Structure 1
């Protein structure tokens, strides 16, 4: 079974004890239980991850991904096991940010090819 993901503590990463991470451990356990070889592939961005999934013979895509409308129309998804939230963190020396109206002189940006554009 081939699996493509992005390295992170929830997916997989190389530690002193080898490859670990929640998603990796779940898939590894499933593969061991069913006598299937697990092949882990790594992508540097979500764009690369989905492009390779679409164009290569890859069985599963992972990486703590958000389900956007576009992704739901194109791919089948499992139930979510975690939730991601976007937060603004500021200095204790500044007034508490209670809403975007407290940041009139600032602009925000969204990472290209990320799911945050749909949030």
Structure 2
């Protein structure tokens, strides 16, 4: 019986090898040249971020969903993996576009705006952006209900793109973009009442609700979106 994770990895590998050439830049050398470079150096440099859904240091060493996928891909190439964990999410795609890594595996949502900066692999997961509040605050039920609320989101994320598009319809919509925190940290701030609302991908929400039981989903801010490597 086919193994879905293996099938996803195969699709990722095939496209990265034949289409992306392990480089996000539109001015990158031909795929086979970059691939040969990675194989010759024996190392795949991956830009990522530290979070439970991507990459982190567990009791037995590096782990995480993205890390496991990347390690399997590197194994298929016969090379080692070097993870570059970046503090600011907004720095990840510029690093790939500038050639400061071979690929980015960081729970990145594919958007039209980002597709003008980097190339993406096939999607390995679908998520939805969700508006998150705690049990101690009134539940927002639609985009209009976000006007006048205290909202914090991670800078450089697709959440910002979505809010910017909503502001065209609701000009009074405001939010704060946080540079030096992860989405998981903002969820804790919501849980502890330090801010009213944040926005997070549904996979991140599902995991964090296990440890922060007061978190609630107000509503889905987007339709299904794709996560992919860049």
Indicate which of 90, 111, 117 corresponds to 1:68: 111
TM-score using structure 2 length: 0.45
Larger helix proportion, structure 1 or 2? 2
In 1, Cα distance between equivalents of 2:97 and 2:109: 17
Gaps of 5+ in 2: 1-43, 163-230
* Separation of aligned partners in 1, 2:148 and 2:109: 30
Distance 1:103 1:23 in 2: 32
Q: Which has the higher strand share?
A: 2
Residues 7-36 of structure 1: per-residue CA shift (max 9 Å, x gap): 112211001100001111111112223311
Structure 1: 5+ residue stretches without partners: none
Match of 1:17 in 2: 60
1:29 to 46, 66, 72: 72
Q: Give the paired residue count.
A: 118
TM-score (norm 1): 0.79
Deviations 1:32-75 (A, max 9, x none): 23311211111111222223223344110121012222211221
Distance 1:49 1:95, change over 3 A: closer
